[in-house]
Each structure stands twice: as C-alpha cells, then as structure tokens.
Amino acid sequence: MTEDNDQGGDETTTTNADDGQESHATVSEPGADGPLPRSGKTGLEPAEFGDLTETSNGPDAVGWDLQMLRDIPVTLSVEVGRSAISINNLLQMSQGSVVELDRTAGEALDVMVNGCLVAHGEVVVVNDKFGIRLTDVVSPSERVKKLN
C-alpha cells in the first residue's frame, strides 16, 4: 500500500498493492473549512461563556457567587492520629487490641473536610456526645499550598 499526498495536504490517495485500485480521502486540518460542515448538523456549536467578574464585596467575595454552593453536602471528619502497620498485624487484631498512633495524648486533632485539612481542635463533650472545639483554622492559602 502506498500513499501520495499533494502539496496542499487536502487529499490523500491510497493505492492497494493487491488489486491496484485507488481510493481517495479528503483530509483537512482542524479549524479549516474542509469537508466537515460548520453547522448544527454535526452537533458542534461554539461555546459562549458569561462574564467571570466579582459578584460581591462581602465576606464571601472570592470572585464567584458562592450562594449556589452552600447546600452541597460535604463530609467532615476528625482524625485522632495515624499508624502504618503490616497486613499481617492487621489480620492478627482482635477485640481489645491496641494500636499506637503517631500523636501524643492531648495533642490537637485534625479536622478534615472531604479529606482536606481545614482546622485543628480539641475534644469536648456536649450533651453526652463528643464534639470538637476548633483551636486553629487553616487559612485558604495554606490549604492550597498543601495540595502541591
């Protein structure tokens, strides 16, 4: 099989070595007015975007209107500590086993939102239930730095 391409790069001729027949295919570069129609027939239409300017100057002013995000549920969790163990030790655990963590008693706990550290706190009891009092909130710029 051989391929010949003219200098314009628009038409390719392919010759099959077995039967000697030629076939022609039209090729065009992206964005060029070629064989693909530039109308709704392909289902492709140019995207239009609204203005992305700041919408408020209040405490939530970050360049976007956050009102629509306020009802999205997130998972808040508190991490007491971590430990790396082997699968063998994990399989040997039973009721009453003790796992040593990487934190000392009384050290601040990590408050995580969807797995991202957002604050540190201490355990409190509220109406016979555990709670956490935030002692330090991680700034948004610090959270972004930890993503890298």
Residue 70 has pLDDT above 60, yes or no: yes
Residue 9 has pLDDT above 50, yes or no: no
β-strand pairing of 11-15 with 22-26: antiparallel
- Which tens digit of pLDDT belongs to each residue from 83-117? 999 999 999 999 999 999 999 988 999 999 998 89
Residue 23 has pLDDT above 80, yes or no: no
- CATH no., domain 67-93+106-147: 2.30.330.10
Per DSSP, the residues of the chain read -EEEE-TTSSEEEEE-TTT--EEEEE---TTSSSSS--SGGGS--------------STT-SSS-GGGGTT----EEEE-------HHHHHH--TT-----SS-TTPPEEEEETTEEEEEEEEEEETTEEEEEEEEE--HHHHHHHH-
Per-domain residue ranges for the chain? 67-93+106-147
Residue 62 has pLDDT above 70, yes or no: no
Give the whole-number percent of the chain exceeding pLDDT 70.
60
Q: What confidence score (pLDDT) does residue 75 get?
A: 94
